Amino acid sequence: MRVHVADHPLIAHKLTLLRDETTDSPTFRRLADELVTLLAYEATRDIRTTECEVTTPVATTHGTALATPKPLVVPILRAGLGMLEGMVRLMPTVEVGFLGMVRNEETLEAHTYANRLPDDLDRRQCYVIDPMLATGGTLVDAIRYLVDLGADDITAIVLIAAPEGIARMEETLGDLDIPITLVTGAIDEKLDENGFIVPGLGDAGDRLYGVV
């Protein structure tokens, strides 16, 4: 698995504002949206393209278009929805699927409760988006599920990651024979005894949408 930390001053600045406990939900949503666009720019360097022709007001020239089948963006509900608009803004022609996953706070394991994905992902590049990589259970399960459907190139985009989550992904996804990439804005210090990232930014879902 390839891990890429997007080391950019604007990403660091926006992450700092996200971490601040006084940042309200509307500002948190805006910052998350801006951050995912910056991260997606890094994450899509290897997106599949094809040559095409385009006619300008002056002449015909060669251009670049997204290859077919088009990439699939998969937000993990519910917090991943806060990153979706930034991805679609960057790639307006992509398709979107949804996975609803929730972590059991006692076992720290992820369980799927909703699925809106194509039945066949043969030869598809997939971009999984979730604000945080903590224990790694959610992303591991999501990636394996997409591989079972035929995806052959998967990139996970997270705002922050814990070392324990990265280690779990490397250990449990090592048997897959497809490219797996993790793109993150920062690797934090550790997980606490409750499985929360330290220093982290709190519960991303609650900070995006309020406590439910």
Is 146 annotated in a binding site? The answer is: no
Backbone angles phi, psi at 21, to 5 degrees: -65, -15
Is 143 annotated in a binding site? The answer is: no
Is 9 annotated in a binding site? The answer is: no
Is 2 annotated in a binding site? The answer is: no
Is 138 annotated in a binding site? The answer is: yes
117 by DSSP, 3-state: which?
coil
Is 137 annotated in a binding site? The answer is: yes
What percent of the chain is helix, strand and coil (3-state, nearest 5)? 30, 30, 40
Is 123 annotated in a binding site? The answer is: no
Is 168 annotated in a binding site? The answer is: no
Residue the block writes with tokens 């790694």: 136
Is 132 annotated in a binding site? The answer is: yes
Is 112 annotated in a binding site? The answer is: no
Is 12 annotated in a binding site? The answer is: no
Is 64 annotated in a binding site? The answer is: no
Q: Are 43 and 155 in contact (CB under 8 A)?
A: yes
Is 130 annotated in a binding site? The answer is: yes
Is 207 annotated in a binding site? The answer is: no
98 by DSSP, 3-state: which?
strand
Q: Are 98 and 90 in contact (CB under 8 A)?
A: no
Binding residues for uracil: 197, 202-204
Binding residues for 5-phospho-alpha-D-ribose 1-diphosphate: 78, 103, 130-138, 203
Binding residues: 78, 103, 130-138, 197, 202-204
